[in-house]
Structure 1
Amino acid sequence: MNRTFLRLSILAMVLSILGCDKPNDLLRAPVVGLAQNNQVPILITATNAGKVRIEYQKTDEASSTFSEWNRLSELDIFSTNLMLNNVEYDAAYKYRVQFENREYSQWFQFKSFPAVGKPGKFSFIFSACMREKYMGFNIFEKIEQRSPTFVALLGDQMYGDYDGDLNKLEEYLENKSLRQKMIAASVTVLPDTTVLQAFRSKYSRVFDENFQKMASRIPLMATWDDHDYGKDNSDATYPYKKEAKRAFKESYPVYPFEVENGGIYYKFSIADVDVFVLDARWYRSPMQNEDGEDKKMLGDEQLVWLLNGLKGSKAAFKIVFSSVSLNDYGGDTSSGRSGYDSWMGYKFERNKILSFIEENNIQGVLVFSGDQHYPSAHLLNWKSPLNSISRTTRSIEYSIVDLGTAVFDFSASPLSYKKATGHSLISENQGNPDFSFEIFRPDWAMPKDATKDTPVVIGSVYGFAEVDTESSPQKVSVTFYELDPEIADMAEIYRIVITL
């Protein structure tokens, strides 16, 4: 009796040390990933160690299926990806998280993608730039209400170098005098003890309740730009890129990355459309370098992957997500360095891509980006005369039959940040096919003479893309929305329709 009691006491003590007796719960809502090959990844972040799995079922059925058990560890901030298998196309599902102590979360819901390789209809919202200092408007509630098939977050989902610069963390942790001076000067000092922890904390602070509600229901596609990569206009030389990648992978569902130890570029398909997601940071050359053959945006391997993917795609529409815009007017020139941070500063590589598209007669390439802090639409690779099917003051329609290998460039941002203006439109270039043709930019995004007294305007902008390859003709429509403060809601400002 005593020996048995002793053994049980030791076992209880071990389990207590391991944390297995601690009640577990979700730290934040699950995040639904991209449905591919009848599988859907879901990111779970909990409060403690232990095992976890997901119970799921179609909303019109009573029988459940379970994912495999995964183990949560403190090393990975108690987060893991659980894979739902045998998920049917274009179907509504509900799911909940089960912990090993037989505790369950609430039920959540999502809808899977339309069948891959077949004509279909889907939609997505795209935008970028979400700074915690300016998060006030419930933008993610508005996005959820539109019920897109997925949401594309195109970078700067948090700002590593603003509202507490994580790039200075190690410096002021080692220098108490510097830390005190910063506090005295009202400079934000982060409470974190490592750069990785600072990345994690920043993600946690911007993923508020509205974001969590949306992300638990609508599949999320993401890439990064300079600020969530870590620093304004950062490139391949950035010293904390590995910490940035680890925090990124802990914050989003698993994506089908093309390489394990490099950048975060990947491809997926939805209906009969191919989608290419670029990494415009991990491999890029410094923006101040002279433009030419040696100046890279994507790096050699990613560039070849993109070109081969576009050439090999049989899709009528090929969607490319780039964190930075392709056009000639949206490039950032901040940080006291010369050059442009967008593709405008990497024109040799940009033109290489455009020439490849033209030489191989690749039609239907649509590029979507963020970064600029204003919405815009441009055409590249176009030929004169440039004709539209129809036009109003708030819309325009084009036919790819008339445009050949022209490439559309759509950009939308910010989610929650200051509005900005682009570079001045060069009127004479509107008739020159060697330059991007500006289809749309709102008046407030045109350059104006600003002074120190010019008020800062915080805004929210997104683009809503609707793809229909079932109808004849096949078409894509892109509608831009911005926050109208008078009605405290998102208002339509311009629409572009592309038919095949």
Structure 2
Amino acid sequence: MLGACPGAPGEVKLIYYPLLNSDNKTETDWIAVDEKKNYTTQWQLENLRPNTKYVVEIEARLNNKSKVSDKTEGAFRTPPTEKTEEDIEFCIVTCHDYWRKDTTDGHKIYNSMIKMFPDFYVHTGDIEYYDKPEPYALTEELMRFKWDRLFALPLQRKFWTQVTSYFMKDDHDALKNDAWPGQTYGTVPWDRGIEIFEKEQFPYHNKFYKTIRWGKDLQIWITEGRNYRSSNNIPDGPEKTIYGKEQMDWLFKTLKESDATFKVIINANPVLGPDRENKNDNYSNSKYAFEGEQIRNFLNQFDNVYLCNGDRHWQYVTHLPDTNLWEFSCGAGADMHAGGWDQEDLRPEHRFLRVKGGFLRGEVSRENGKPKLTFQHYDVNGEMVHEEIFTK
């Protein structure tokens, strides 16, 4: 099948070291890839130095009697400590699909973003679409085929092997459109779809929501919008949830405890919107109005919290009048993937609206000692189309 890049049995070894101290190498033992998990394996690296760029080398061989047949090199950067005043750049993207890429080598936004070389990157989900044709991923084998095909694309590979990356899941790469726990797609039940994403294709964590401090001026929150949600089709009320009580309590607690100059919450789906009336799966929809209003009321007490989201196939900046609430939608990964909103439907809350593909860039910096947060929307060619600047 076109784009196929199947895995193979064998052994791999990891070597990593600080870029400026190549003599300080850590080398793992050879380990066999797991044939039951798409020929993958994972390492958890500990005791890393803050604010350090690490080089990573992965060697592969058929077995312990064979020579190394392949060697791949990449890099990542660790976050600075909470007391470090340092400029930080990041990019946020959403909604990719193999058949809606805009070059044969992948999505051209990756060529634009690698030139910026951000300190970190967040993919908000819908990294691939199980429920789109050629093929519909109705089996575990076809789900893995789609991941292998996507991760083999040269533009994506070049970027992901060089930039610290956080991957979130949404409905299309968990199972299917508007998916929630208990459902099945083809022959694959919900729990297996989640396991393939969380424990096989992407770095595994006990919980997929997390907060990371990137220096004195920036703390990010990466939320989980699928694992804990109620069924979309039950009546709205106090018991209906997306975040789940544990995640909601954690979010509120950690936001209050944070002394970061700017707090950025990254969601797979909108919290402010506006969104289409026929959608049912996010906090800007009436189907989750009760919990959505709780979240918006809580966030409004802060004057330094900003929301970013994926899922929507258009770019926007929303600022609710008479509140402190701002939301930045990054837009789909390609122009051919954009749509779902009328460009002429500019609402009072819109500060910016563009029904095209691209990505969102953020930066914290200091001018004469004064911290500043900048959000910029870019088109797929890397041209800036909108900018908002906040000072504290």
TM-score scaled to structure 2, two decimals?
A: 0.84
Residue in structure 2 matched with residue 413 of structure 1 by the alignment: 331
Q: CA separation in 1, counterparts of 2:346 and 2:231?
A: 26
Counterpart in 1 of 2:141? 197
2:317 is matched with 377
Report the alpha carbon displacement of residue 466 of structure 1 after superposing the two structures with TM. Answer: 0.7
The letter for the 1-side match of 2:327 is D
CA deviation profile, 1:205-249 (whole Å, cap 9, x unmatched): 222121111111111111111111121112233233222222213
Alignment of 1:103-118 (within 5 A): 103=68, 105-118=71-84
Shift of 1:368: 0.9
Structure 1 residue identity aligned to 2:168:
T
Conserved? CA contact 1:285–1:296, under 8 Å: yes
Residues 205 and 480 of structure 1: is their aligned pair in 2 closer, same or farther, counting only changes over 3 Å?
same
| From 333, 339, 349, the counterpart of 2:291 | 349
Match of 2:99 in 1: 133
CA offsets 1:414-466 (integer angstroms, 9 cap, x no match): 11342114377585xx3xxxxxx221113xx3xxxxxxxxxxxxx53101111
**Cα pair 2:90 2:362 within 8 Å, conserved:** yes
Structure 1 residue 253, shift from structure 2 partner: 2.7
* 2:373 pairs with one of 456, 471, 476: 476
Residue of structure 2 aligned with 1:57, choices 17, 21, 36:
17
Which residue of 2, 6, 9 maps to 1:48? 9
Q: Which residue of 1 aligns with 2:383?
A: 491
Secondary structure of the residue that 1:274 maps to in structure 2? Answer: strand
Compare CA radii of gyration and give the structure with the larger one: 1
Secondary structure in 1 aligned to 2:140? helix
Q: Which amino acid aligns with 2:13?
A: R
How does 1:96-495 map onto structure 2 within 5 Å?
96-99=57-60, 103=68, 105-137=71-103, 138-164=108-134, 166=136, 169=138, 195-207=139-151, 208-239=153-184, 240-249=189-198, 250-254=200-204, 256-258=205-207, 264-272=208-216, 273-331=218-276, 333=278, 339-345=279-285, 346-358=288-300, 361-380=301-320, 382-383=321-322, 406-416=324-334, 417-422=336-341, 430=348, 437-442=349-354, 445=355, 460-468=357-365, 472-483=369-380, 489-495=381-387
Percent identity for Structure 1 against Structure 2:
19
Counterpart residue type for residue 53 of structure 1? K
- Report the Cα distance in structure 2 between the residues aligned to 1:283 and 1:85, rounded to whole angstroms: 28
After TM superposition, give the deviation of residue 377 of structure 1 in Å. Answer: 0.8
Assess, with a 3 A threshold, how the Cα gap between structure 1 residues 426 and 466 changes in structure 2: closer, same or farther. closer
Write the distance in 1 (CA, Å) between the matches of 2:312 and 2:22: 47
RMSD: 2.7
The letter of the residue matching 1:224 is K
3-state DSSP of counterpart to 2:145: helix
- Stretches of structure 2 that go unaligned for 5 or more consecutive residues are none
Aligned in 2, Cα 1:426/1:93: closer, same or farther, shift over 3 Å?
closer
Query: How far apart are 1:87 and its partner, in Å?
Result: 3.3
Considering fraction of residues, name the structure with more helix.
1
1:7-50 per-residue CA deviation (whole Å, 9 max, x = no partner) reads: xxxxxxxxxxxxxxxxxxxx98xxxxxxxxxxxxxxxx973233
Normalized against structure 1, the TM-score is what?
A: 0.67
Relative to structure 1, is the Cα distance of residues 118 and 298 closer, same or farther in structure 2, using a 3 angstrom cutoff? Answer: same
Kindly indicate whether the alpha-carbon contact (under 8 Å) linking 1:331 and 1:344 is maintained by their aligned counterparts in 2: no
